[in-house]
Amino acid sequence: MELSKKLQQLPPQFFASLVQKVGAAVAQGRDVINLGQGNPDQPTPPHIVQALQQAVENPVTHKYSPFRGISELKEAAANFYKREYNVDIDPLTEVAVLFGTKIGLVELPMAVLNPGDWMLLPDPGYPDYLSGVVMAGVHYETLPLVADNNFLPDYNLLSEESKERAKLIYLNYPNNPTGATATLEFFNETVAFAKENGIAVSHDFAYGAIGFEGIKPVSFLQAEGAKDIGIEMYTLSKTYNMAGWRVGFAVGNTQIIEALNLIQDHMFVSLFPAIQHAAIAALNDNQTCVHELVDRYEKRRNVFINACNRIGWQVEAPKGSFFAWLPVPKGYTSQNFADKLLNEADVAIAPGNGFGEFGEGYIRVGLLVDEARLEEAVQRIGKLALF
DSSP letters, 269-327, are --S-HHHHHHHHHHHHS--HHHHHHHHHHHHHHHHHHHHHHHTT---PPPSBSSEEEEE
Does residue 158 lie in a domain region?
Answer: yes
What pLDDT is attached to residue 371?
97
- The answer on 93 and 35 residing in a single domain is no
Q: Using the 3D structure, point to which of 236, 261, 284 is the last residue of a domain.
A: 284
Q: What is the mean pLDDT of residues 338-357?
A: 96
Q: Kindly indicate the confidence band of residue 297, based on its pLDDT and cuts at 50, 70 and 90.
A: very high
Contact assessment for residue 204 and residue 210, using Cβ atoms and an 8 Å cutoff: no
- The answer on 260 and 306 residing in a single domain is no
Beta bridge partners of 139: 118
Q: Kindly indicate the confidence band of residue 13, based on its pLDDT and cuts at 50, 70 and 90.
A: confident
What CATH number corresponds to the domain at position 18?
3.90.1150.10
- The answer on 147 and 110 residing in a single domain is yes
Residue type present at position 362:
Y
pLDDT higher than threshold 80 for residue 205: yes
- The answer on 145 and 17 residing in a single domain is no
Provide the 10 A C-beta neighbour count for residue 316.
Answer: 15
What CATH number corresponds to the domain at position 259?
3.40.640.10
Q: Using the 3D structure, point to which of 238, 269, 284 is the last residue of a domain.
A: 284
Q: Kindly indicate the confidence band of residue 15, based on its pLDDT and cuts at 50, 70 and 90.
A: confident
* Percent of the chain residues past pLDDT 90, beyond the cut: 96
- The answer on 164 and 300 residing in a single domain is no
Residue type present at position 382:
G
- The answer on 80 and 39 residing in a single domain is no
Does residue 348 lie in a domain region?
Answer: yes
Pick the closest to residue 96 from 218, 208, 236, 263 (CA basis).
Answer: 263
Does residue 355 lie in a domain region?
Answer: yes
Does residue 49 lie in a domain region?
Answer: no
What pLDDT is attached to residue 97?
98
- The answer on 295 and 274 residing in a single domain is no
Does residue 145 lie in a domain region?
Answer: yes
- The answer on 147 and 127 residing in a single domain is yes
How many domains would you assign to the chain? 2
Does residue 371 lie in a domain region?
Answer: yes
- The answer on 114 and 88 residing in a single domain is yes
- The answer on 131 and 104 residing in a single domain is yes
pLDDT tens track for 224-245: 999 999 999 999 999 999 999 9
What pLDDT is attached to residue 18?
84
Contact assessment for residue 353 and residue 39, using Cβ atoms and an 8 Å cutoff: no
Does residue 56 lie in a domain region?
Answer: no
Contact assessment for residue 247 and residue 76, using Cβ atoms and an 8 Å cutoff: no
Q: Using the 3D structure, point to which of 284, 310, 325 is the last residue of a domain.
A: 284
Cβ-based burial of 85 (10 A; exposed 0-12, middle 13-18, buried ≥19): buried
pLDDT tens track for 244-255: 999 999 999 999
pTM of the model: 0.96
Mean pLDDT, the chain, rounded, equals 96
pLDDT tens track for 312-332: 999 999 999 999 999 999 999
Judged by DSSP in three states, 138 sits in: coil
- The answer on 359 and 248 residing in a single domain is no
Does residue 268 lie in a domain region?
Answer: yes
- The answer on 181 and 109 residing in a single domain is yes
Q: Residue 203 is part of which domain span? A: 63-284
